[in-house]
Chain A
């Protein structure tokens, strides 16, 4: 996981600097927001001069899945003091959730679990900061990126991130529909096209998942709703 996050941290730092974000804002996003996907999205939106409320709304939508993690981990955190829950919440990301949820489900020792959770969180956090700094330094020393197709760097990065999820077939549908709608609605103001496309893509993903279930288990009356 730590190794897996490294290229994203580096690319984030490089893209952010290349897009003209000040160093403090780039580091601030990693230090305080600490949410990979939304940081990438923010770089893209900030780079194109998007209105503030749109940036916040998009951040909300992109990170809303963290509420799911927050809810899933609650049973393991009920007994913890409030300051622990405030702290652990701050570091809740996709990677931490995946590691910690698995560990806590298999070994439900509350006290050790909390320390494992904290340790994983801190490791991911420091790792992300380290690679962001590397990316910032790279972005500063390779200003060519700005002239040599920063937009393409962003396209290639996002395409690669999505491509890695394409083995899940519904993600393919979600991506195709989101891309199509975004393309058609690209002229709308306030990045409305982005919101429409995200909504349509998510709906397509859910629909594809349902259809796949129906095809795979046509005779099972207990198939999930």
Chain B
């Protein structure tokens, strides 16, 4: 598929694993990919924010993507990476299970997400790439982060209900 040198548009994706699924983000949003390092917890920060790390002298927040997507937690391995993305001018790290490849895909192979997934909370899912081997779920990383605040809010709002029930 990547031999496509024709006129059709291509997109370059950073593909990573999360809970045994493949996700892709546009390479232009990714600043760098670093190995796991010690993460300093921040008290009373939003729950999906695992803490902060030192990125060459800058303190940046790190989001646990598994927790962000309400996936079960997992033991950290050597494969784990922090994908540093630029969201509205701020660097934010995302913990992923592994970064598998940087792949070039023709825009034509991207299908809208609605045909495959139906959730009301999927604004950050921008499409699905079907390749021979697997499905790659495309993420709009800015939305993943910015929606988080709303997620946080709705969680808080749900608390009294669940307590009552």
- Tell me whether A and B are bound partners: no
Q: Give residues in B with beta carbon < 8 Å to A.
A: none
Interface, chain A (partner B; CB < 8 A): none
